[in-house]
Amino acid sequence: MLLKKTNKPRVIKYRSVYWVKLGKTFGTEIYKTRPCAVMSNDWQNIIGKRVVVVPLTTAPMPSVPFHISIEFDGKEAKILPEQIRSVDKKRIGKKIGELPEEIMIEIEEMLRILLNFHK
């Protein structure tokens, strides 16, 4: 049986975690290929050429009030809301998994504080 090639675009979804090539950065901006949580809404993720992501790291870091600790791949990881950024979909690699809703709520709350978007 012949495998049919399809040009159907991949659907990137809110809450999903992907490997993302963050590329060149400056100063203390996080770089390299890292796991990142998708924060942009599904509508934007479908029609746009970019998605909004928040990186994760397993590197040891000082304790900062707005970092969110989770377990990732058997290691302690930190979600870094202050490193939020928009990335081209071409930077998105393989899907790793999805974050639970309660973690997403925590990230959103930290982003509201960091960006001064108070309710």
List, for residues 21-54, the tens digit of each pLDDT value. 998 889 988 899 999 999 999 999 999 999 999 9
Say if CB 51 and CB 87 are below 8 A apart: yes
pTM of the model: 0.88
Residue 64 has pLDDT above 70, yes or no: yes
The alpha-carbon radius of gyration of the chain (Å, integer) is 15
pLDDT average, residue stretch 61-65: 85
Q: From 2, 20, 1, 13, select the one nearest 46 (Cα to Cα).
A: 13
52 versus 5: the higher-pLDDT residue is: 52
Whole-angstrom CA distances from 30 to 27, 50, 98, 100 are 9, 18, 21, 23
**The CATH fold of domain 16-114:** SH3 type barrels. (2.30.30)
Continuous H helices in the chain: 42-47, 101-114
